[in-house]
């Protein structure tokens, strides 16, 4: 299942820079992951300073 970014996101942009398939973009108040593009590599979760990305 694709990763999803929680409301804990502080919009730092670090995850978007690490995503190998560019599935992450800046959304309204937080960053968002395109579930159809995400390959579930976990790089965003490893990079995020606040632990916002997670698999549901």
Q: Which helix (H) or strand (E) covers residue 14, if one does?
A: helix 14-18
Q: Indicate the pairing of strand 24-26 with strand 3-5.
A: unpaired
Among 1, 27, 53, 56, binds ligand SF4 (CB under 6 A): 53
Burial of 32 (0-12, 13-18, 19+ CB in 10 A): middle
**Binding residues among 30-49 for ligand SF4 as defined by CB under 6 A:** 31, 33, 38-44, 47-48
| CB 7 to ligand SF4: min, Å | 10
Using CB under 6 A as the binding rule, whether residue 28 contacts ligand SF4 is answered as no
Among 1, 5, 28, 36, binds ligand SF4 (CB under 6 A): 5
């Amino acid at each position: 299942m694709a990763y999803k970014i929680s409301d804990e996101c502080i919009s730092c942009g670090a995850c978007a820079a690490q995503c190998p398939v560019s599935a992450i973009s800046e959304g309204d108040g937080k960053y968002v992951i395109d579930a159809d593009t995400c390959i579930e590599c976990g790089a965003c979760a490893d990079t995020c300073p606040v632990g916002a990305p997670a698999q549901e």
